[in-house]
């Protein structure tokens, strides 16, 4: 199969494997070519069965999406587990919380299993399955459309459902963090859910490993300055630390807590 695609098309496939979706306009800017050129690349990959066309770009077929999810889940797993332990330590027993889509969020759910009396609202079926095994947890699953690749629930119904609640903590993830503090993601539907969680949580916790710093994505989620705390595994770039300090966003690292 590799012999049937050129180097740029292989790079497009690599990006799709990493994020689950590639946008035509973004790729055109990145490679300095026309949108029509990228469209031809994507059409070729679709003919080979390697991608599926969507409005504005292309995504992985279901089986490949599932593989991409497993790859993301296992990537930097120990780092995600350390982040999860830090986060869980800041959530008291008998709290109410949102837990959003994301592999680091799923590790937070595992780290919370020793807690008592939690009330969890989630749009992540993996989180719901795990946490519903605890008898003194109340787990509420948001309505909406289930994404095949990671069992995340998204859509306007999800946003409307979450808008009914006010909780103690909102635990969210992000695909990238720009050096100006902008939080970025790939799926606008997931971003809408995250933005709603931010509005309906008393404290907002972002969980993100070091690979997210400087990583690009196409949809703006928010800004570091809107968070109560950032939980990560390595010290962020200086620019991020300065933004956090100016806005009062806490930074939590393994073995170190920075009250900025």
Which pLDDT score is estimated for 49? 79
In angstroms, the Cα distances linking 131 to 38, 53, 93, 154, 215 are: 43, 35, 14, 19, 30
> Which residues are within 8 A (CB) of 196 and not within 5 positions of it... i.e. 6 or more apart?
159, 162, 163
Rounded to whole angstroms, the Cα distance separating 44 from 1 reads 12
Note the pLDDT of residue 148: 77
What token pair was written down for 34? 């026309």
When the candidates are 3.40.50.2000, 3.40.50.1360, 3.40.190.10, 3.20.20.10, the CATH number that belongs to 76-258 is 3.40.50.1360
Domain ranges of the chain: 2-60, 76-258
Comparing CA positions, the residue from 257, 232, 246 lying closest to residue 84 is 232
Can you give the length of the chain in residues?
A: 260
pLDDT tens over the chain, length 260 residues: 344 788 899 899 888 876 667 889 999 999 999 999 999 999 999 888 788 887 788 887 654 444 466 676 777 788 999 999 999 999 999 999 999 998 999 999 999 999 999 999 999 999 999 999 999 999 999 999 888 778 889 989 999 999 999 999 999 999 899 999 999 988 888 889 999 999 999 999 999 999 899 888 778 899 999 999 999 999 999 999 999 999 999 999 987 655 54
The predicted structure's pLDDT at residue 19? 67
Report pLDDT for 259.
52
With helix as H, strand as E and coil as C, how does 203-260 read? EEEEECCHHHECCCCCEEEEEHHHCCEEECCCCCCHHHHHHHHHHCCEEEECCEEECC
CATH topology of domain 2-60: Arc Repressor Mutant, subunit A (1.10.10)
Q: Between the CA of residue 60 and those of 50, 116, 180, what are the distances in Å?
A: 7, 39, 30
Tokens 């970025």 found at: 184
């Amino acid at each position: 199969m590799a012999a049937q695609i050129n180097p740029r098309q292989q790079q497009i496939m690599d990006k799709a494997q990493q994020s689950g979706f590639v946008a035509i306009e973004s790729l055109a800017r990145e490679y300095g070519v026309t949108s029509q050129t990228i469209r031809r690349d994507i059409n070729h990959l679709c003919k080979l069965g390697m991608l599926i066309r969507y409005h504005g770009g292309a995504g992985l077929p279901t089986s490949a999406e599932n593989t991409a999810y497993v790859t993301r889940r296992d990537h930097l797993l120990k780092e995600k587990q350390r982040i999860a332990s830090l986060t869980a330590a800041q959530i008291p027993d008998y709290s109410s919380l949102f837990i959003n889509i994301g592999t680091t969020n799923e590790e937070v759910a595992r780290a919370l299993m020793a807690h008592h009396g939690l009330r969890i609202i989630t749009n992540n079926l993996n989180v719901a399955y795990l946490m519903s095994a605890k008898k003194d947890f109340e787990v509420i699953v948001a309505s909406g459309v289930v994404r095949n690749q990671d069992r995340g629930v998204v859509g306007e119904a999800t946003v409307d459902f979450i808008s009914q609640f006010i909780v103690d903590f909102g635990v969210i993830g992000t695909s990238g963090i720009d050096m100006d503090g902008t939080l970025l993601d790939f799926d606008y539907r997931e971003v809408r859910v995250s933005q709603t969680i931010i509005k309906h949580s008393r404290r907002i916790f972002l969980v993100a490993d070091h690979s997210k710093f400087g990583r690009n994505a196409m949809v703006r989620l928010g800004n570091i300055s809107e968070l109560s705390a950032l939980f990560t595994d390595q010290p962020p770039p200086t620019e991020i630390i300065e933004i956090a300090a100016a806005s009062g966003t806490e930074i939590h690292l393994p073995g170190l807590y920075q009250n900025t």
